[in-house]
Amino acid sequence: MSATGNGVFHPSRTAILRILAIGASLAYLAMTVVLLAAVEPLGIAYAWVARVVVTFGATFAAMLLMPQGRARSWLRLQISKHLFRHRYDYRAEWLRFTRTLGGGEAGDAPAGRIERALADITDSPVARLFVPTDASRLEPAGAGAWPEAIGGGFDAAFVRMVERLPRILDGDALRADAASPAATEEERRYAPDWLVADTTIWAGVPLVHGDRIAGYVLLGRPPIDRRLDWEDHDLLSVAGRQVASHLAEAQGQAALGEARRFHEFNRRFAFIVHDVKNLASQLGLVARNAERHADNPAFRADMVETLKDSVVRLNDLLARLAPQTAAKVDAPRVATPMAVLETIAARRRAQHPVRLSGRADIHALFDPVRLELALGHLVQNAIEASPVDEAVWLSVERRGQEVEIAVLDRGRGMSADFVRHGLFVPFDSTKPGGFGIGAFEARALVAAIGGRLEVDSREGEGSRFAILLPFAEAPEQRLSA
């Protein structure tokens, strides 16, 4: 309840209804007391029987007289019409509408929440949501079976009319005489025949977001039949705008999810294309070197190993293109990084000179498969940045409680600004035609095995990439300890 500044007292709708309920309860109790007093002269022998009969009879009568269903709707309509200035308690309606629209239990479909939220405003027993399709039509999206003869939804002409004239559709006015001002000539012209023929359709609520239609809701006839008035039009119009924003947000989230899935596919495909480019570059260098060193038995042996490795990597790439294919990697274990470097050097010598240095007895904890993939990207970048006759150096050293695996080249090098802001950014590369993915994927692989990647580069002098892994004692040393 509230009082305005001019002293006029305005009781709330809830307070009025509760006062009426209390008054009815007091009237019931008073009537019961009067009836009990009336049976007193019957005598002591039958007085208690009369009291029981009166009490239960009055309770049963009250239960029969309590409004149910259609009667309750009629009573609420009469109270709203004769005791209040407005039909709706806008605050209560909006709170209920927002709670229904934004709430819902697990598995509750958004279409069902939208239908209930609008139907509860007018006490409509049923509602049906229609949403746009690719063919600029409106097709049913709700779970209900009403209306039964939907006739394929709404056509494009009706959709354009609603976008141009977003007003509440009055079903009774649509079926009334053509002179009725409650329905426009356009509504009569473009409304589908099944909508006009179905008298259970009471109103249509356009869901317009901006200047585009996001949906359309048909409302069934309320239990107490009445005509749509200005309050229905205003409240349903505002609610329709809110639902349209809700629908547009949901549709935007769905589109964003689809875009993310395509982005992930494009990202995976970009990595695969990058690896294919590396393989093509590797095989191209092998072919050019074969013209000069074909008579060298050592070169031929390295070339065979390189070709075998290329076949294996191509098969792995084809497997990665298949959906739901998990990469087969080993669990982190104690191993010697030098063994991985030797494998990479043996495969790349036919492509470019590769030199090894460092200690072969140093052990670290890592995943050999991922380390080999990371080093493969770094070595390929170093080869592409180096002159033809300048070797790429791979080394293993211990640095305190870490093991450093370095890839060193004497190539073009990179600026400090590019190392800080562009080196690990996908699709950002200093090489002509480069994808800018190798360093990014290498750092991700190193992080996945519990290491980190450091870079030191100067323009015109070359680059040094260092992978730092946790140091581990040799297996025999742990057993002796």
Give residue-wise pLDDT tens across range 267-321: 666 666 666 766 777 677 777 777 777 777 777 777 777 777 777 777 766 666 5
What own/partner pairs with CB < 8 Å and gap ≥ 24 does 101-110 have? 101/242, 101/243, 101/246, 102/246, 109/143, 110/246, 110/247, 110/250
**Distance of alpha carbon 5 from alpha carbon 17, whole angstroms:** 25
According to CATH, the topology of domain 109-255 is Beta-Lactamase (3.30.450)
Closest to 355 in 3D by CA, of 398, 394, 304, 307: 394
* Predicted local confidence at residue 267, as pLDDT: 66
Residue from 379, 367, 382, 310 nearest 342 by CA = 379
Q: What is the pLDDT of residue 43?
A: 55
pTM for this predicted structure: 0.48
Residue 18 CA to residue 12 CA, distance in Å, equals 10
- Quickly list DSSP for 439-458: HHHHHHHHHHTT-EEEEEEE
CA 236 to chain centre: 28
- CA dist list (Å): 419 to 374, 380, 425, 430: 18, 18, 10, 11
Per-residue model confidence (pLDDT) at position 136: 78
Query: Please, are residues 450 and 406 in contact by the beta-carbon 8 Å criterion?
Result: no
Alpha-carbon torsion, ordered 215, 218, 219, 221, to 10 deg: 170
> What pLDDT shows up at residue 470?
92
Q: What is the pLDDT of residue 402?
A: 92
Averages of pLDDT over each 10 residues, the chain, 481 residues: 47 58 66 63 57 60 51 51 61 84 67 87 88 81 66 83 88 74 76 87 90 89 82 88 86 76 67 68 72 74 74 68 52 87 84 88 90 88 87 92 93 86 72 68 88 91 93 67 44
CATH classification of 327-480, choosing from 3.40.50.300, 3.10.20.440, 3.40.605.10, 3.30.565.10?
A: 3.30.565.10
pLDDT of residue 326: 47
CA dist 373 and 310 (Å) reads: 13
